[in-house]
Chain A
Amino acid sequence: MAADSYEDVVKNKESIPALEVAPQDLYHAKSFWTKYIFCQDAKVIGIQYGLTAVAIGLVGLVSSWLMRMQIAFPGFIPMDAAQYYQLVTMHGMIMVVYLLTALFLGGFGNYLIPLMVGARDMVFPYVNMVSFWVFFLAVIILASSYFVPGGPTGAGWTLYPPQAITSGTPGGDGLGIVLMLVSLAVFVIGFTMGGLNYVITVLQARTRGMTLMRLPLTVWGIFTATVLALFAFPALFVAGIMMTLDNMLGTSFFMPAIIQFGEKLTHEGGSPILFQHLFWFFGHPEVYIVALPAFGIVSDLISVHARKNIFGYRMMVWAIVIIGGLSFVVWAHHMYVAGMNPWFGFFFATTTLIIAVPTAIKVYNWVLTLWRGNIKLTLPMLFSIAFIITFVNGGLTGLFLGNVAVDVPLSDTYFVVAHFHMVMGIAPVLVILGSVYHWFPLITGRFLNERLGKIHFWVTFIGSYSIYFPMHYLGFMGVTRRYFEVFEGEAFTYSITGINQFITVAALVTGAAQFLFIYNIIVSSKFGKKAGKNPWKACSLEWRTKDVPPTHGNFDKELPVVYRWAYDYSVPGADEDYITQDTPPSAVANARAEQT
């Protein structure tokens, strides 16, 4: 057949467009090392990313337990202020960068992008493999900071200078801060290699018939987040280099003239606020790097488990893109109290509040997808509903903090802690958990145990609300975050100790539930109920592979050809309640599916 243009394909539904992408030349591993360790298969790399991220994430989880113990029951676990700050810092950095970013983009991105766009692998499998091992190196460097004299840095995850590199801060005059900065720089390098792969795979390696507007929203979310990361991480990278130089060579990029213990330091003339600008130019897009994949994935979960097409697909795509664009012009709302020009604050408050529009569109569309759907309360669906509720809660407190006048008194209180944990901690984690329940049958061919899953869900959902809802109240009371000890007395008229103890108990229980989840994964991967092909009756291509679990090369001899979007659920007239993306129109002639 000659080259058919896209219009011809639309007119003549059965014709297949000519092949524009040459068949990929895959490296076929022969030895154990190239098959499982230095593997070039994106699916294996995805699992490697996931396991590494979860492993270091457990360190972050235990850190949060220890912190909570100190706040609620001081002295129960012996620790001094320096150790407490180290826990706070490592918890924050691990969770945001090494767990969430790596898991969403490295883990889900690697596993799902090639499968969902109908490619055999990422476009450059070798670079992809190197990307994981560089990330692994970054995690090793980060973990090694626990074992150097002085321990890891305790500067807070924002690492603000000058305190981050002065001797009063734990790890500030030792290797702690250096290892943190080096680890971040290495992470950025590793991520760039992977991220370029994800972007080009989505743009240039889709299968025939797969237009951008037929991509599952999961791919849109991960794709947009990757683009954000490629443009935002440079700021962190450069800031990291400059701070390392300040610390190691005694330059003064971020260091003003300082008198410490009566002695003038050698630094002078630097700009600490420059670091804050650079950090948040990375830091705010980072929020959406974590949130956008969650938005995308949850849209797919809701659609599959409510047996209904996603409401307003095009709006969902544009909302993701617009949120991504706006996320680059809001960064200074993290710096209202940093001493900026007030006009700056006004500008950034405006842009921040504008982001509420596309995010609200997304929330409405999720709810309208559920509306009169055939909702199946499976575990992925439960987690998705929990996500919507949590995200709305966290988003509403964002409106408070986005306004300068309201933010100033609430700044650096537990209200902020509650806000960002709700919106970018709990909400994305709920999506991760839900999507593990959803895609576990694809990855291993077996279901996770439903009963354990239900316990896990309810403990996690109620537990995380028990943790973070009272924190809003603590914040209104004026309890400041990052304090080693909070005393009751004249400052706080009500019993904050009781609330703190309640939160700590909730945190311990919720954390323990995650170990139940890990137990479930380990046991079910061997003894779980067999799932078979496409157990959720989903439309998207990842379930249309030759083998389940998919093997190297993903698909059969021929790549699938796509005729429709990924959301043809409950189409009137069709024999089944779903039509997979690669079903030709002639096979479902009676179905009244709209041409997408």
Chain B
Amino acid sequence: MEESSSSVQVVIPPKESFAKEWSSDQKAFKGVPWGKAMMWIFLVSDTFVFSIFLISYMTVRFSTKNEWPNPSEVFGLHVGQANVPLLLIAIMTFILITSSGTMALAVKYGYEKNRKMCGYLMLATAVLGASFVGMQAFEWTKLIMEGVRPWSNPFGAPQFGAIFFMITGFHGTHVTIGVIFLFIMTYKVFRGHFDTGKRGFFTSQKSDYEAIEIMGLYWHFVDLVWVFIFAFFYLW
């Protein structure tokens, strides 16, 4: 059999039914690169982390004896004379969802090898993400000035502050890591690393536009998690 000639040529088989793909050899997810599959499994694992954070929040909210503060009052902003509830959070949510849109477009242009458009859209995503982190820092500062601490707050149950800082802090860390990688990727796109297949500094693996999509998966996940935090913490 033409072993030597067939071993160089890599074939992506056509889409088959789930059962056929899983009972076949080599790959269970046909045509899915390693990195992408790995990011998906990681995100499932990370989903568990955030789910457990949110479930713990709900449990503690029931277990505490003190009254739970009203989020629409606590997270209100004064615009002129009026107190607009959840104004800052609404803006933050809008920004993060917009950044998901720019990210999706960046992936599209990446696969089209449109280096410039991909780069600009990555940059836009990074800047939007950074502004989200900035606004979160502003929100933290405002609440700390009003006397909210992890162990107590002037509005009611002490767990309110604890949960707030822990969950938004953990999510903010995810966003910050994402922003850092977005900036690195933007740099790599503009320098053409994905076109030339430059080898990574640490990993010594060749760069590929597929990395943009993997980045995108992570970014959409962070965005989706925020929607749940928004629903369960700010709206409830």
User: Known contacts A25-B205, A238-B56, A253-B60: does B45 contact A6 (CB below 8 Å)?
Assistant: no
**Contact B45–A253 (Cβ < 8 Å):** no
**Contact B166–A21 (Cβ < 8 Å):** no
> Which A residues from 309 to 353 make CB contacts under 8 A with B?
none
> Which B residues from 42 to 68 make CB contacts under 8 A with A?
42, 44-46, 48-49, 52-53, 56, 59-60, 63-66
Instruction: Pick the interface stretch among A84-92, A199-207, A486-494, A495-503.
Output: A199-207
User: Known contacts A6-B20, A270-B63: does B26 contact A23 (CB below 8 Å)?
Assistant: no
Which residues on B sit within 8 Å (CB–CB) of A371? Answer: none
- In Å, the complex CA distance between A123 and B34 comes to 7
> Which A residues from 120 to 165 make CB contacts under 8 A with B?
123-124, 126-127
| Interface bracket on A | 35 or more
Which residues on A sit within 8 Å (CB–CB) of B82? Answer: none
Which residues on A sit within 8 Å (CB–CB) of B56? Answer: 238, 242, 253, 274, 278
Instruction: Pick the interface stretch among B6-14, B73-81, B94-102.
Output: B6-14
Q: Is A51 close to B, CB under 8 A?
A: no
**Contact B66–A126 (Cβ < 8 Å):** no
**Contact B9–A18 (Cβ < 8 Å):** yes
Q: Is B150 close to A, CB under 8 A?
A: yes
Q: Is A268 close to B, CB under 8 A?
A: yes
Which residues on A sit within 8 Å (CB–CB) of B24? Answer: 5-6, 211
**Contact B166–A206 (Cβ < 8 Å):** no
A450 to chain B, nearest CB (A): 38
Nearest CB in chain B to that of A248: its residue? B150
> Which A residues from 204 to 232 make CB contacts under 8 A with B?
204-214, 230-231
> Which A residues from 174 to 210 make CB contacts under 8 A with B?
192, 196-197, 199-200, 203-210
User: Which listed residue, B65, B157, B206, touches A25 by the CB 8 Å rule?
Assistant: B206
Interface residues as binary, A400-420 with B (CB distance below 8 Å gives 1, 0 otherwise)? 000000000000000000000
Q: Is A77 close to B, CB under 8 A?
A: no
Q: Is A430 close to B, CB under 8 A?
A: no
User: Known contacts A25-B206, A123-B34, A204-B37: does B42 contact A252 (CB below 8 Å)?
Assistant: no
> Which A residues from 239 to 277 make CB contacts under 8 A with B?
239, 241-242, 245, 249-253, 256, 266, 268-271, 274
- In Å, the complex CA distance between A25 and B44 comes to 27
Q: Is A14 close to B, CB under 8 A?
A: yes
A435 to chain B, nearest CB (A): 26
> Which B residues from 157 to 208 make CB contacts under 8 A with A?
157-159, 162, 166, 170, 202-206
**Contact A206–B37 (Cβ < 8 Å):** no
**Contact A20–B11 (Cβ < 8 Å):** yes
User: Known contacts A19-B11, A126-B203, A269-B66: does B158 contact A210 (CB below 8 Å)?
Assistant: no
- In Å, the complex CA distance between A196 and B36 comes to 11
Q: Is A558 close to B, CB under 8 A?
A: yes
Q: Is A27 close to B, CB under 8 A?
A: yes
**Contact A231–B45 (Cβ < 8 Å):** yes
User: Known contacts A5-B13, A271-B60: does B48 contact A234 (CB below 8 Å)?
Assistant: yes
With an 8 Å Cβ cutoff, the count of chain B residues facing the other chain is 58
- In Å, the complex CA distance between A100 and B45 comes to 21
User: Known contacts A200-B41, A253-B56: does B203 contact A208 (CB below 8 Å)?
Assistant: no
Nearest CB in chain B to that of A127: its residue? B203
A200 to chain B, nearest CB (A): 5
User: Known contacts A123-B34, A269-B157: does B48 contact A16 (CB below 8 Å)?
Assistant: no
Q: Is A562 close to B, CB under 8 A?
A: yes
**Contact A271–B151 (Cβ < 8 Å):** no
User: Known contacts A204-B27, A250-B150: does B48 contact A18 (CB below 8 Å)?
Assistant: no
Nearest CB in chain A to that of B64: its residue? A269
User: Which listed residue, A1, A205, A212, A270, touches B6 by the CB 8 Å rule?
Assistant: A1
Which residues on B sit within 8 Å (CB–CB) of A206? Answer: 25-27
User: Which listed residue, B25, B63, B66, touches A208 by the CB 8 Å rule?
Assistant: B25
- In Å, the complex CA distance between A366 and B73 comes to 64
Which residues on A sit within 8 Å (CB–CB) of B31? Answer: 20
User: Known contacts A230-B44, A274-B63: does B150 contact A203 (CB below 8 Å)?
Assistant: no
User: Which listed residue, A209, A230, A278, touches B25 by the CB 8 Å rule?
Assistant: A209
Query: Which residue among A16, A252, A256 has the maximum number of chain B CB atoms within 10 Å of its CB?
Result: A252
Which residues on B sit within 8 Å (CB–CB) of A207? Answer: 25-26
**Contact B151–A16 (Cβ < 8 Å):** no
A189 to chain B, nearest CB (A): 11
Could you give 18 example pairs across A and B, Cβ below 8 Å? A6-B20, A16-B1, A16-B6, A20-B10, A20-B27, A23-B7, A123-B34, A124-B203, A204-B27, A204-B34, A210-B25, A231-B45, A238-B56, A251-B150, A252-B151, A270-B63, A274-B60, A274-B63
Contacts beyond the supplied A27-B204, A274-B60: 6 A-B pairs with Cβ under 8 Å:
A25-B205, A199-B38, A241-B166, A251-B159, A278-B52, A558-B7
Q: Top 7 nearest A-B pairs by Cβ distance? A: A269-B64, A251-B162, A234-B48, A271-B63, A250-B151, A18-B11, A126-B203
Q: Which residues of B contact A (CB under 8 A)?
A: 1-4, 6-13, 16, 20, 22-32, 34-35, 37-38, 41-42, 44-46, 48-49, 52-53, 56, 59-60, 63-66, 150-151, 157-159, 162, 166, 170, 202-206
